[in-house]
Amino acid sequence: MTANRRILLSSPRTLEIAEASMPVPRRGELLLRVLKVGVCGSDMHLWGSGRIGRIKMKAPLVLGHECVAEVVEAPGGASGVTAGARVAVEPAIFCGTCRWCARGNTNLCPQTRTRFLGLPPTDGAMQEYIVHPAHLVVELPRHISDNAAVMLEPMAIALHAVRLGKVAPGRRILILGTGVIGTSLLSLLGLYRGLQVVCVDLHDDRLRRAAALGATATVRAIDGRREDAARDIREALGGEGADIVFECAGAPDTLWNMCETAGPGGHVIIVGSSGDDAVLFSSGCARRSGLTMRFVRRSLATLEPCIDLAMRGLVSPGELVTHEFAAPAAAEAFEIVENVEDGVLKAVINMRQWSG
């Protein structure tokens, strides 16, 4: 092995195939061969504008953090997995020693702001080989497919959001946006009894999928008509508003309506990432309803629980993958996801396929 092929974001909206030297694992690290990588919303922000929130690209970058890989080399100090094992990857590289890590809040570790796969300045998983800390991979059961393994990372975020929302039987729940995270949330909520779950989206195919997964009701919103959407949502919820709102789109309309559609004393869980790095809602509405708002920061010790749920057949994350592309066709994948074409929900890139 002498070269490592990679999909490089050289500038916004420009992906190139490039080669780099093979990465060399240090003590406690693994050399991984990447099998598949998902195209995530954060990848889309970086691809489209070269930034996500306040973080900006300052040099060409390899995107991708939702991945499944195979262990190639496990040098001294990398215990727990052996060469040939197929693994899920936790992309946030936390320090383990700061006060946030000491409290168990590893997702809040300041180091992860810059040491996260595919987030500047750290190159991500859209390359043939990466090195990664051994304690941040989890060996996968054989019957969990590669596509399902890619989906474990976003599902882990959804499970963290469910925990923050304090979901319990009998709650009225609203999901604003049924993309990958929203649909993953709906799958996890299906493990509860007695919930009323209303799903909202701009796209009929996503709402049909939500209905098939057990949504009590769906609302087809129209971009720019948030008042109409809020009225229809409240009607679907019986006029009382939601006990728990999961905002999963990061769009101006959904960020505004997350408070407009929450009931008194409701919990608003914000999972979506605003492309404008701004959240606008009525403070009066939120205050009068006594809302509790929580922002979701990635996942928190939820990757392994999601593997367990998939292993037991309680969730089927692989079914959310709708499109697969060879590595040289990565640009097409990003364009289809951007335009929400061809019924796309989750697109994955096969990093073993470099032709066709």
pLDDT of residue 78: 65
Tell me: do 164 and 290 sit in the same domain.
yes
Is residue 149 one of the residues assigned to a domain? no
State yes or no: pLDDT of 87 exceeds 80: yes
Residue 57 lies in a domain: yes
Question: Domain containing 9 — which CATH number?
Answer: 3.90.180.10
**Residues 112 and 205 both lie in one domain:** no
My answer on whether 229 and 202 are in the same domain is yes
pLDDT value of position 52: 93
What's the confidence (pLDDT) of residue 346?
98
Query: Does position 1 have pLDDT exceeding 60, yes or no?
Result: no
Query: What does the pLDDT read at residue 215?
Result: 98
| pLDDT confidence tier of residue 335, bands split at 50, 70 and 90 | very high
Same domain, 48 and 172: no
Q: Measured between alpha carbons, how far is residue 46 from residues 7, 57, 66, 110, 338 in Å?
A: 14, 8, 15, 20, 12
Looking at the 3D structure of the chain, how many domains does it have? 2
Q: Could you tell me if 246 and 272 are in contact, meaning their C-beta atoms sit under 8 angstroms apart?
A: no
DSSP state string for 81-146 = --TT-EEEE--B---S-SHHHHTT-GGG-GGGGTSBTTSTTS--SSBSEEEEEGGGEEEPPTTS-H
pTM over 0.95: yes
Within a domain: residue 307? no
Do residues 101 and 163 both lie within one domain? no
133 and 37 both lie in a single domain: yes
User: Quick one: 124 and 171 in the same domain?
Assistant: no
Residue 9 has pLDDT above 90, yes or no: yes
pLDDT at 77: 59
Cα torsion at 32, 35, 39, 45 (round to 10°)?
30
Domain carrying residue 103: 3-139+316-350
The answer to whether residue 311 is domain-embedded is no
pLDDT tens digit string along 51-85?
999 999 999 999 999 999 999 988 875 667 889 99
| 121 and 233 in a common domain | no
Does 151 reside within a domain?
no
Average pLDDT over residues 235-250: 96
Cα–Cα distance between 338 and 301 in angstroms, integer? 30
Q: What is the pLDDT of residue 80?
A: 77
Q: What is the pLDDT of residues 167-196, one digit of tens each?
A: 999 999 999 999 999 999 999 999 999 999
Helices 41-49, 330-339: axis angle to 10 degrees equals: 100
**In a domain? residue 264:** yes
- Average pLDDT (233-251) is 96
Q: Assess if residue 194 is contained within a domain.
A: yes
Whether residues 237 and 333 share a domain: the answer is no
Mean pLDDT of the chain: 96
Q: What is the mean pLDDT of residues 253-262?
A: 98
User: Do 124 and 213 reside in the same domain of the chain?
Assistant: no
pLDDT of residue 326: 98
Please tell me the predicted confidence (pLDDT) of residue 75: 80
Cα distance between the two ends of the chain: 23
pLDDT digits (tens, 9 = 90+) for 320-332: 999 999 999 999 9
CATH number at residue 270: 3.40.50.720
Q: How many helices (H) and strands (E) does the chain have?
A: 10, 18
Q: Is 331 helix (H, G, I), strand (E, B) or coil?
A: helix
pLDDT recorded at residue 275: 86
Give the whole-number percent of the chain exceeding pLDDT 70. 98
125 and 177 fall within a common domain: no
Q: pLDDT-based confidence at 103, cuts 50/70/90?
A: very high
Q: What is the mean pLDDT of residues 302-312?
A: 98
Q: Are residues 250 and 340 in the same domain?
A: no
Task: Answer whether 144's CB lies under 8 Å from 310's CB.
Answer: yes
User: Is residue 150 in a domain?
Assistant: no
Q: What is the pLDDT of residues 203-225, one digit of tens each?
A: 999 999 999 999 999 999 999 99
Portion of the chain with pLDDT greater than 90, in percent: 95
